[in-house]
Chain A
Amino acid sequence: MPQATETDRTRAQLSRLIGQAASGDRQAFQDIYNLTSAKLFGVCLRILNDRQAAEDALQDAYVKIWRNAGRFDAKRASPITWLATIARNTAIDRKRSGGNRTMVSDDVIKEMASDEPSVLENLEAQEDTKVLNKCLDSLEARQRNVIRTAFFEGHSYNELAQKLNKPLGTVKSWVRRGLKRLKDCMDYG
């Protein structure tokens, strides 16, 4: 039997805590918050690039997590992905509904969507991570860059086109062709 990694242990612990929160356990919910809020705040901050807005989104996200804990299915997603996806979607919704907030200064996160190879901190690169990164690396630079920017900054097509100062059709072409190649690479190697 393979030795359980730190990641496996964290995953099991979080899954258990989410199950407890689903049955109304406040302490378990607070434990989830203590374990994951830095990650989820990082997600909100990156998407919104505004501390106040990110704090609001983070609160909304955890209220959703509390109310939806019963819906978490460990077979479909890892707990941290489930939590982070809720935070990311909440932040994106807030950004879209915020109107003028969408075109923000780039000072906080200038570096983050750069074309550098991704740096994985603290986590041993797992197989799916390696595959994704290998396949992202196989894309044209502009395809890779635009997909990564969309993910990490939560931009819509229109926002990307504005940000990159390119026609919408051009941006869509880059993204869609990149996505097709990415899928082919990940599914078939």
Chain B
Amino acid sequence: MVDDTGPLKDDEAPDDETLAAELVLGLLDSEEKALALRKQLSDLKFAQAVDAWNRRIDPLFQEFQEVEPAAFIWDGIESRLDAGSPGEAVVQMKRWRLGAIASGALAACLALALIVGPMPFVTPSEEPSVAVAQLTGDIEGLVLAVSYNPETAEMRIDVNGMPETDTAPEIWIVGQDGIFRSLGQIGRNGISEMTVPSDHRELINSAATLQLTMEPPSDTPHAKPTGEPVASGKVTFI
């Protein structure tokens, strides 16, 4: 039974269930929030508790009153969608590829377009020449946009929304055999570029997925992941 009388000590640690609710409500300051987000990355049970609290408080959103924003707000948003992206070119590319590419892949193309900025767009007559993947998972806001050029074996990974953790993000290629092969650790935020080791290049095909796990920091790739992937995505050639 909970002692309902005295106040808690300021630094008294909450149980996981309470911590999940505190994270959802936004009660935690930056350091505590970082710890909780890290836990959400590494602890499935805790992540489920966070989801459950999100569902419990969901009806409260109905109580926010609606306030019409000024018209210029949309223009500002729209201009930011254009920033660094080939804009119309994406749409044009979509039109002719629509039948051929699944929607997830389109999202990946788009995310790629957003990160790499204006780039020459292939015309329908050209052969596909680049692989892309968008890696996402259960962590809200965490998204990795990956592009890979088979000719140069250069991989470019744009990380967004990675919470603070002591562990480091490590990228794995997983082929049809289901075996995780590390491509090494990458930056926590922004763009990382690497040359894919020659023995892993042939694995990057349309049957492969890329997986992200959080690992102890290391200069060399690990042999195996220690935890569950926190984000994953299918490789698609465009």
Chain A interfacial positions (CB closer than 8 Å to B): 19, 22-24, 26, 29-30, 33, 37-39, 41-43, 45-46, 55, 58-59, 62-64, 66-71, 76-78, 80-81, 84-86, 88-89, 92, 96, 112, 118-121, 123, 126, 128-129, 132-133, 147-148, 150-152, 154-158, 160, 167-170, 172-173, 175-177, 179-180, 182-183, 186
Contact code string B128-141 (vs A, CB < 8 Å = 1, else 0): 00000010100011
B63 engages A119 (CB within 8 Å): yes
Is residue B29 within 8 Å, beta carbon to beta carbon, of the partner chain?
yes
- Assess whether A128 is in contact with B69, with CB atoms less than 8 Å apart: no
Q: B105 to chain A: closest CB distance in Å?
A: 9
A/B interface sample: 8 pairs, CB < 8 A: A24-B91, A30-B78, A68-B143, A70-B134, A81-B54, A84-B61, A156-B27, A169-B9
Closest A-chain residue to B18, C-beta based? A176
Verify B91–A179 contact, CB threshold 8 A. Answer: no
Least CB distance, A49 to chain B, in whole angstroms = 12
Given known contacts A68-B143, A180-B2, A186 and B56 CB-to-CB distance under 8 angstroms:
yes
Nearest neighbor of B65 in chain A, beta-carbon distance:
A42
Across chains A and B, which 8 residue pairs bring their CB atoms closest together, nearest first?
A: A70-B107, A38-B66, A129-B59, A169-B7, A170-B7, A23-B106, A41-B69, A23-B103
- With beta carbons under 8 angstroms apart, the residue of B30, B62, B67 that contacts A123 is B62
CB contact between B21 and one of A29, A70, A158, A183 (< 8 Å): that residue? A183
Looking across the interface, which residue of chain A has its beta carbon closest to that of B87?
A26
Nearest CB of B to A160, in Å: 8
A88 and B26 within 8 A (CB) = yes
The secondary-structure label for the interface of chain A is helix
Contacts of A39 in B (CB 8 A): 64, 66
Q: A126-B59, A129-B62, A169-B7 are in contact. Are A89 and B67 (CB under 8 A)?
A: no
Q: Which B residues are within 8 Å of any A CB, using their own CB?
A: 2, 4, 6-10, 12, 14, 17-18, 21-22, 25-30, 51, 54-70, 73-74, 76-78, 80-81, 90-91, 94, 103-104, 106-111, 114, 134, 136, 140-141, 143, 160
Which residues of A are found within 8 Å of B6, using beta-carbon distances? Answer: 173
CB–CB B63/A152 < 8 A: yes
User: If A23-B107, A24-B107, A183-B56 touch, does A118 touch B63 (CB 8 Å cutoff)?
Assistant: yes
A38 touches B69 (CB 8 A): yes
A189 CB to closest chain B CB, in angstroms?
A: 13
Given A37-B69, A45-B67, A179-B18, are A69 and B107 also a contact pair (CB < 8 Å)? yes
Q: Beyond A24-B91, A173-B6, A179-B18, is A132–B59 a contact (Cβ under 8 Å)? A: yes
Given known pairs A26-B91, A120-B63, the reply for A177 and B2 (CB within 8 Å) is: yes
Determine how close the nearest CB of chain B comes to the CB of A66; give it in whole angstroms: 6
Interface class of chain B by DSSP: helix
Shortest CB–CB separation between residue A135 and chain B, in angstroms?
Answer: 9
Smallest Cβ distance from A132 to chain B, in angstroms? 5
Contacts A38-B69, A43-B64, A70-B136 given: A151-B58 contact, CB under 8 Å? no
**Is B107 touching A183 in the complex (CB atoms < 8 A)?**
no
| A92 vs B28: C-alpha distance when bound (angstroms) | 11
With A24-B107, A67-B114, A183-B21 given, is the CB distance from A173 to B63 under 8 Å?
Answer: no
With A67-B160, A129-B62, A132-B60 in contact, do A156 and B90 touch (Cβ < 8 Å)?
Answer: no
Known: A42-B67, A169-B7. A176 touches B14 (CB 8 A): yes
Q: Which residues of B contact A179 (CB under 8 A)?
A: 18, 21-22
Closest to B107 in A: A70
Q: Shortest beta-carbon distance, B133 to chain A, in Å?
A: 12
What are the residues of chain B within 8 A of A160 when measuring CB–CB?
Answer: 27
B77 and A62 contacting across the interface, CB-CB below 8 Å: yes
> What's the nearest-Cβ distance from chain B to residue A63, in Å?
5
Contact B10 A168 (CB under 8 A): yes
Q: Which residues of B contact A123 (CB under 8 A)?
A: 62
Of the listed residues A62, A67, A167, the one surrounded by the most CB atoms of chain B closer than 10 A to its CB is: A67
